[in-house]
């Protein structure tokens, strides 16, 4: 049996770090929850969780020097997974926080759901994932239900960056990525068997990169 993959979960007071850490441990990783940018850069793979507003998350990342570390993780080719608001901060900007720059790893911005008859914002609850482009992280997960809590969603400039979609009044990007990076809007750690499968997929993909 291979040694467990060393995975850093970025600790920046983002809310769901402990539940993500526990889920990765259950998936078979050797997990370190760390606020140290140097440790993040030395590990085998990195997971960036996130709960809260776009601007608040970016401020917390900048205050800890983690914004630069995240960009370096991507540049280095290290396997990189974003969860929930992390998907949004991978983009350049958000309507939620005008004037605040995101990490800019993916071209595009983030927009708010438009309230429609019978649909409340935030979008909260279980929803089906449709895989838009085959990707190892989403292997075997087309048509599975995942747990969402969000009022905003990304609009990638490049259609090829969309890995998966869901629908809530409109079809929206629920997963995106390119090269060594992937991110999902939903909470795998709250999504039962399908969520565990996603984390297992990430670990398997990370070993291949």
Cα distances from 107 to residues 50, 82, 156, 158, in angstroms, run 19, 16, 6, 7
What whole-number percentage of the chain has pLDDT above 90? 91
CA distance 193 to 190: 9
Question: At 117, is the pLDDT very low, low, confident or very high (cuts 50, 70, 90)?
Answer: low
- pLDDT tens, 38-94? 999 999 999 999 889 999 999 999 999 999 999 999 999 999 999 999 999 999 999
Question: At 15, is the pLDDT very low, low, confident or very high (cuts 50, 70, 90)?
Answer: confident
The catalytic residues are 84, 187, 189
> Could you identify the residue written with the tokens 């009044």?
169
What pLDDT is attached to residue 141? 99
pTM over 0.85: yes
What pLDDT is attached to residue 110? 98
Per-chain mean pLDDT for the chain? 96
Phi, psi of 105 (to 5 degrees): -75, -25
Asked if the model's pLDDT at residue 127 lies above 90, the reply is yes
What pLDDT is attached to residue 99? 96
Question: At 12, is the pLDDT very low, low, confident or very high (cuts 50, 70, 90)?
Answer: very high
- Mean pLDDT along residues 10-23: 90
What pLDDT is attached to residue 16? 81
Phi, psi of 68 (to 5 degrees): -65, -40
CA distance 101 to 58: 8
Asked if the model's pLDDT at residue 1 lies above 80, the reply is no
Q: For the chain, which residues make up each domain, given as ranges?
A: 6-208
- Domain covering 6-208 in this structure, CATH number: 3.40.50.880
């Amino acid at each position: 049996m291979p040694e467990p993959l060393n995975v850093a979960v970025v600790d920046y007071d983002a809310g769901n770090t402990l539940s993500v850490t526990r889920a990765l441990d259950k998936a078979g990783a050797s997990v370190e929850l760390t606020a140290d940018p140097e440790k993040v850069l030395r590990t085998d793979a990195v997971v960036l969780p996130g709960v809260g507003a776009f601007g608040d998350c970016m401020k917390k990342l900048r205050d800890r020097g983690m914004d630069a570390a995240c960009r370096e993780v991507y540049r280095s080719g290290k396997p990189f997974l974003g969860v929930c608001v992390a998907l949004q901060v991978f983009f350049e900007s958000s309507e939620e926080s005008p004037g605040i720059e995101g990490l800019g790893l993916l071209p595009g911005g983030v927009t708010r759901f438009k309230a429609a008859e019978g649909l409340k914002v935030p979008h909260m609850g279980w929803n089906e994932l449709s895989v838009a482009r085959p990707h190892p992280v989403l292997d075997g997960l087309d048509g599975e239900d995942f747990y969402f809590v969000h009022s905003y969603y990304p609009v990638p400039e490049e259609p090829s960056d969309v890995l998966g979609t869901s629908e809530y009044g409109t079809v929206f990007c629920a997963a995106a990525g390119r090269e060594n990076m992937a991110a999902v809007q939903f909470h795998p750690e709250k999504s039962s068997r399908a969520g565990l499968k996603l984390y297992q997929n990430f670990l398997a993909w990370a070993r291949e990169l």
